[in-house]
Amino acid sequence: MSPARANASESRGSYPPEVAGAAAPGSDGPADSRPYNPMTPRRASLMQEPVLVLNATYEPINVTAVRRAMVLMLKGVAQAEEMHSAEVHSAAHSHKVPSVIRLLAYRHIPQQSRALSRKNILLRDRNTCQFCGRVFSSSELTLDHVVPRSRGGRSSWENLVACCYRCNNGKGDRTPEEAGLKLARRPRPFTLHTSRQLMRLIGHRDERWRKYLFY
């Protein structure tokens, strides 16, 4: 086993919530993963800025924070592919920080079901209630099961939509048809396209991500 490979598997336990399969940072991730909501106008600090994570093959696989990306680089698990224009300053030095990093060892990404999170559903639906069409902050939205769970509706990308509390209460344990509500659009399943789209939404101001996300 090569040193790089050993290194990668050794740290496996510490970062799968961010790297494995998730299009956007996991909902249960550490503090790092909090500020990615694109609806948040200003990010806390440079260390919290999103960094695009590429597999060894340059395939985009996730987004993490500058702080986490720098740890991966220090561990020799990843290297910087693009640098941020801003720098962080310590007492004696200033350091360039990455905007895009690439894992040095190829990581097999398991089935993308882990990407199913409240955060990602709200991102997909752009914080818009899918019944009344109004935009809300994340705290004012809940997830609605289009086909209620009591009728066998599953918790899946195809059956969960962003929904304001008012519409959610109005709908109750009914289907949209029964409640006289109409979906703004059919909830899309999770695909590679969804994954890329979520990453674009997160990095929407970072031009350096473009060539890896094909837009």
Binding site for Zn ion (CB under 5 A): 129, 131-132, 164, 167
State in angstroms the smallest separation of the CB of 136 from Zn ion.
8
Residue with smaller CB distance to Zn ion, 49 or 144:
144
Residue with smaller CB distance to Zn ion, 122 or 167:
167
Task: List the structure tokens of 152.
Answer: 């066998």
DSSP string, 160-210: EEEEEHHHHHHHTTS-HHHHT---SSPPPPP-HHHHHHHHHHHTTT-GGGH
Which residues have CB under 8 Å from 180's CB, separation 6+? none
Chain centroid to CA 112: 12
State in angstroms the smallest separation of the CB of 205 from Zn ion.
28
Residue with smaller CB distance to Zn ion, 64 or 127:
127
CB 54 within 8 A of CB 60: yes
Residue with smaller CB distance to Zn ion, 14 or 168:
168
E runs forming strands in the chain: 50-54, 60-65, 78-89, 94-103, 141-145, 160-164
State in angstroms the smallest separation of the CB of 157 from Zn ion.
20
Residue with smaller CB distance to Zn ion, 167 or 202:
167
State in angstroms the smallest separation of the CB of 124 from Zn ion.
16
State in angstroms the smallest separation of the CB of 149 from Zn ion.
19
CB 129 within 8 A of CB 164: yes
CB 57 within 8 A of CB 106: yes
CB 73 within 8 A of CB 80: yes
Could you give the C-alpha distances from 114 to 79, 188, 209, in angstroms and in order?
25, 16, 23
Residue with smaller CB distance to Zn ion, 28 or 140:
140
State in angstroms the smallest separation of the CB of 213 from Zn ion.
31
